[in-house]
Structure 1
């Protein structure tokens, strides 16, 4: 099914893989366009049956408990981003010559449906910081008076944004490596890779495959490929990308920027990429104090967002105003309270070592609460780099022993409390133990470096438990 057929869906046999935040909107949209839609789903629980009933009322066929078999007559598969490429369904599709798209690819192909004028996409990916950067970008674009929305992996369906009644001037799009894997024809106005660290390797199979999928965000960029000067792998992806003539590589750095870069000079965010005579000139954009919180990794997020906005022609004042207006989501390096001159900070969103390292780098003296599901990660590098900041460590969760072993090797003098618990109530005990280790001026930091599902439904629930425990301390 080539792009020339994308306007004629009537009678096309499309299989949607997976119920959920992307599968259900895709099935509804395709059915509304006249396609013959079958949804296949591995699970067959009460929630899936309720979702199936809703779709079946619209004329969609739903097969629960069987996500492996390719339905007869399938001409296209539209998959949920999390479905792994080696699933039997996709093996069968490849053998039958059936293309596989993700929901991002479908949204990209449907942008011009009914003669719409499609909004350009400013796209962001990276191991960490995607959501914050996209939200900062949307805030900057709004400050410039542009109609925009933060969409994609951020929770708002791209299909809804592309096909809804509201018209946009530009979209700020968060894309995961999964979504990029299944989006072969995506061509953004400008794209950014914030950083690259091992993550989701069980899904991609290797670090090389993971990086290659992240790099797809640069394919066909028109104006700017934004990369992280401190992370050479991101620049390597720019060099490997096939972009439109005239598209430039634009770096961001926490140091003083060179030509074609954005950076920081004396507490000022400055632009030497989107100015006349960038060899000599620099444009002030905002102050470090305009960024909340002004932690190093968050300044990097702000610079990346500013670079994409500037690539779209946004004036400097809008960068400043947009950053000032931006408020981070909960559980992202969020200050909960001060108790007895100790700060308590919730960064439950730090679900991998790269995110935890960035969080730990933001404070001088830390009692670190860590642990959970390691997802195949190792912790030696994280601990070695952060050891000098650690006053003490409290460990919880299923894979806490891996962190404990790294601490023994690289920070043997740091006191460690291993709670040996994975029950939800362990968080209150962890906070109480951390209080005992902390001294005035310290920060008790929840930055688990692990996923939460061994103890909590998600990282939000874990962060809520931490905040509640801190409130009990101060009561």
Structure 2
């Protein structure tokens, strides 16, 4: 797919920076969450004629609607929302969670109205001169860890930087901040990439790709293709995972800027133009002049230890990807090491909760797909695994097959737990399984007590659900918080 496939048509074509003439542009913003509100606010400030539509209506949305009404927007809720964009609409800006099959968006595109996401809008709201470069990261797993590691490294290098996009600072807020950033570390979800059209990152990285969000994208092939678009128009370095060949395949297919380098990262020994690990040292053979004969030391594996515990391979891989992006931007090796040493992992990502009666309890609620759960379970020798929730159409056979040899026991919860139970019966028939059918607010306490009954001193009780949380919890964070509270109940 070439660059022309991403170019929008219509009256919005010439709007490539914040100082362009946005006045009078007739825009419909779909959704009134944080990103929808930020988009409407930024457009109103530049004189656009803005209508906001939202099928949902919460107290927070009504408060945002009142503010936007004062600023001059038209806000339509629920039954007031038209089936198609109003006549004269020149641009639709959609919130990232709205799927492409949404009838309103389909009608817009069918009538030739360009549809942007908030990331595309943010790219076009940058100043015409001196805009902060973007270092972009996506992947099925690990992208928040990698992008916040990158933020820590950039700051250790003396740069004014922030993590933005799908995590941290909202991307429009970062772009429009009155004190400009030197560089932005931008996490992109597949939803955000789908609605992006002209983003041209300084450097980009695809950490890995595995089946996820198939229901949103319509197929795994489409999800995979969209993930690969993170490389489009990359200027300096496009970074791929040597141990995930799909990432290199997608890079080869991408239309990058002439002269952009392909840089690999690997938890093995790096070849030329790669970063990797040599005798527990994170080594750079990509961004030094003598890369054919030597390597620069970036950090040690011990620098990544959390509470004295050796990091799992996928955590080391995230650090290597972050280091490669930082090095592509000229950050010195010493700053890479300082940034990784000072980094504090994000909550609910292989997070130690407590050790009770010799059993370690670990919260990896963010393991919301099978690939993430597999990496988490196999990082430990003896695991009582807590799993289940909304599998989103994922196949769990390979996950259970690779996890089986690590399992002391399994506790299942959530809507799709029967699918996991069936796979465990085939691939781990001797492993005891407890099925918790309860879905009320006390269900996690029952789950944790069941896990405690299966565990022995030295084991790890691991919440790595391989599934989304919304069948029982507001989000994966709420699920992890419930797990931690139940564990604290044991220790008390």
TM-score (structure 1 length as normaliser)? 0.97
Asked if residue 111 in structure 1 is aligned to residue 126 in structure 2, the reply is yes
Quick one: which of 247, 253, 256 aligns to 1:240?
A: 253
In the TM superposition, 1:297-312 aligns within 5 A as 297-312=314-329
Quick one: which of 358, 362, 365 aligns to 2:375?
A: 358
Three-state SS of the structure 1 residue aligned to 2:161 is: coil
Q: State the match for 2:432 in structure 1.
A: 415
Asked if residue 87 in structure 1 is aligned to residue 102 in structure 2, the reply is yes
* 1:213-240: CA deviation from partner (whole Å, max 9, x where unpaired): 1111111111111111111110001100
* 1:145-171: CA deviation from partner (whole Å, max 9, x where unpaired): 011000001042111111111211110
In the TM superposition, 1:224-235 aligns within 5 A as 224-235=237-248
Q: State the match for 2:292 in structure 1.
A: 279
Three-state SS of the structure 1 residue aligned to 2:201 is: coil
Quick one: which of 136, 142, 148 aligns to 1:129?
A: 142
In the TM superposition, 1:14-413 aligns within 5 A as 14-65=27-78, 66=81, 68-112=83-127, 115-293=128-306, 294-413=311-430
Runs of 4+ in structure 1 deviating by more than 6 angstroms, as ranges, are: none
Aligned residues of 1:292 and 1:326 also touching (Cα < 8 A) = no
How many residues are matched?
A: 473
Three-state SS of the structure 2 residue aligned to 1:4 is: coil
| In structure 1, C-alpha distance between the alignment counterparts of 2:364 and 2:49, rounded to whole Å | 44
* 1:351-393: CA deviation from partner (whole Å, max 9, x where unpaired): 1111111111211110001111111112111000110000000
* 1:78-122: CA deviation from partner (whole Å, max 9, x where unpaired): 11111111211122212321111111111101112xx55100000
The alpha-carbon distance between structure 1 residues 170 and 45, as it changes in their structure 2 partners (threshold 3 A), is closer
Asked if residue 432 in structure 1 is aligned to residue 449 in structure 2, the reply is yes
| In structure 2, C-alpha distance between the alignment counterparts of 1:5 and 1:390, rounded to whole Å | 55
| In structure 2, C-alpha distance between the alignment counterparts of 1:457 and 1:45, rounded to whole Å | 15
Aligned residues of 2:12 and 2:90 also touching (Cα < 8 A) = no
| In structure 2, C-alpha distance between the alignment counterparts of 1:45 and 1:148, rounded to whole Å | 33
| In structure 1, C-alpha distance between the alignment counterparts of 2:181 and 2:59, rounded to whole Å | 37
Aligned residues of 2:49 and 2:73 also touching (Cα < 8 A) = yes
Aligned residues of 2:12 and 2:91 also touching (Cα < 8 A) = no
Q: Alignment RMSD, CA only?
A: 1.2
| In structure 1, C-alpha distance between the alignment counterparts of 2:50 and 2:240, rounded to whole Å | 40
Three-state SS of the structure 1 residue aligned to 2:71 is: coil
| In structure 2, C-alpha distance between the alignment counterparts of 1:116 and 1:23, rounded to whole Å | 26
Aligned residues of 1:68 and 1:87 also touching (Cα < 8 A) = no
Unaligned stretches of 5+ residues in structure 1? none
* 1:160-218: CA deviation from partner (whole Å, max 9, x where unpaired): 11111121111000001111111110100000000101111111111121111111111
| In structure 1, C-alpha distance between the alignment counterparts of 2:442 and 2:82, rounded to whole Å | 36
Three-state SS of the structure 1 residue aligned to 2:14 is: helix
Aligned residues of 1:296 and 1:361 also touching (Cα < 8 A) = no
Aligned residues of 1:350 and 1:448 also touching (Cα < 8 A) = yes
| In structure 1, C-alpha distance between the alignment counterparts of 2:221 and 2:388, rounded to whole Å | 27
| In structure 1, C-alpha distance between the alignment counterparts of 2:109 and 2:156, rounded to whole Å | 46
Q: State the match for 2:6 in structure 1.
A: none
| In structure 2, C-alpha distance between the alignment counterparts of 1:5 and 1:395, rounded to whole Å | 51
Aligned residues of 1:187 and 1:217 also touching (Cα < 8 A) = no
Shift of 1:328: 0.8
Shift of 1:2: 4.4
| In structure 1, C-alpha distance between the alignment counterparts of 2:44 and 2:456, rounded to whole Å | 61
